[in-house]
């Protein structure tokens, strides 16, 4: 079972079942989340991340990376513009280029 970010071992009493469904007679209340995947490293108290939370964190990380890329591109553009202005100013000072006023 999933509880507050951790796995929690819970004893269930089961009834009839088939290949896809299991009747739970006791040990589980409405609204409680059960863990349907298993990993050999999982035990009672193992930290667990819900799929929805994981996907949301991935999306947030992707959005942050895109934001950083945009910021970096703007900084690069500003630096390129500043360097270009410096070169043009230097050329104008040497009378090799006339800058429009």
- Give first-to-last CA distance, the chain, whole Å: 73
Give me the number of domains the chain comprises.
Answer: 2
Q: Are residues 39 and 81 in the same domain?
A: no
Sequence-distant (6+) residues with CB within 8 A of 42 are 7, 35, 48
List the structure tokens of 80.
Answer: 């390129």
pTM across the whole model = 0.48
40-49 pLDDT, tens digit per residue, is: 888 888 888 8
Q: Are residues 56 and 37 in the same domain?
A: no
57-80 pLDDT, tens digit per residue, is: 888 888 888 877 776 666 666 666
- Range of the structural domain that residue 75 is part of: 51-101
Q: Are residues 34 and 55 in the same domain?
A: no
Q: Are residues 66 and 39 in the same domain?
A: no
Q: Are residues 79 and 92 in the same domain?
A: yes
For 50: left if phi > 0, alpha if psi spans -120 to 50, otherwise beta; the answer is: beta
């Amino acid at each position: 079972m999933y509880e507050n970010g951790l796995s929690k071992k819970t004893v269930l009493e089961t009834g009839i079942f088939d290949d896809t469904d299991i009747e739970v007679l006791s040990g589980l209340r409405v609204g409680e989340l059960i863990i349907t995947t298993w990993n050999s490293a999982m035990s009672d108290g193992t930290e667990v991340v819900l799929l929805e939370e994981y996907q949301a964190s991935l999306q947030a990380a992707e959005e942050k990376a895109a934001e950083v890329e945009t910021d970096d591109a703007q900084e690069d553009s500003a630096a390129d513009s500043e360097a270009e202005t410096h070169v043009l100013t230097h050329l104008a000072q040497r009378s090799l280029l006339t800058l429009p006023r």
